[in-house]
Amino acid sequence: MPLLKDDVRLVLGQIAIASLDAPGNLERVLAVCEQAAGEGADLVLFPELANLGQVPPYDPTFAARYADAAEPVPGPFTDAVAAAARRHGFHVVVGVAERHPDAGDRVFNTAMVMAPSGEIVGVQRKLHLAHGSERDYFARGSDIVVVPTALGVLAAQICYDLYFPEVARAAALRGAEILCGIANITDRPEWPDRLVHLASVRAYENMQHVAIVNRVGADHGRPFGGESVVAVPPGIVVARGPRAEEAVVHATLHAKTLQEERANRPVFEDRRPEVYGL
């Protein structure tokens, strides 16, 4: 299925996020929404856990505070972001710590996909929890979600999920044309261009548009690196954010690029699943 919109104007909100400060983090998100609206955005992405920030090594007192601060969906944070999407007439993908009965005494690390109507049209819960403290705070999701929209078919992936090619390929085989990655990835100056390489490879493997937005700032002594990126088929980087500072990153995704590159490199038709042994 080709993109339904010829030119998708994309904005990545590479913002700092403060621990347990949902009102302050919401202000940052809404400020980027205002700027994106002035620039005619169609799709705006915000990082993982944009409402409450990341978690420290396991601390039962902090875990209780974090779970208490997490919101059900819909809730005040997502309601406000959805209202901004409706007011400005664009799609939004934003990461939240989600309180949900299926998570037990933990919470879900969730990506919300919102339509210009303000409706939540996709809920992707993080599938792969990183080694360390994440596994003490969060419950695992169990579904790969693709979302048909007026822009085309979107799929959201959350940080560590991006490291697994199976997830991106499964979404692409279900029709995903724009992969929206949201992340909290540590600042690693000795390892430059890792997000660029990741986005490029995913765009090449699946002949799809790939955007990864990463946060900046620090939580619990852990700094985050920014360097948000957009890549298009066949793996060409078209936009990059700076390292370790807030920024608004812009790109335009073209339907023609997707159509031509998928015709030139028919990676789905040429697959041979019968020999992969999966």
Helix residue ranges per DSSP H, 2-137: 22-38, 60-69, 76-88, 134-137
By the 8 A CB rule, do 177 and 3 touch? yes
Residue 13: its H or E element = strand 7-14
Specify which residues 149 forms β-bridges with: 152
- Whole-number Å distance between alpha carbons of 165 and 278: 13
Active site members: 48, 126, 159
* Rounded-to-integer distance, Cα 93 and Cα 249, Å: 15
**Which residues, in sequence order, are CB contacts of 275 under 8 Å at separation 6+?**
none
What are the phi and psi torsion angles at 255 (to 5°)?
A: -60, -40
What is the Cα–Cα distance from 186 to 226, expressed in whole angstroms?
8
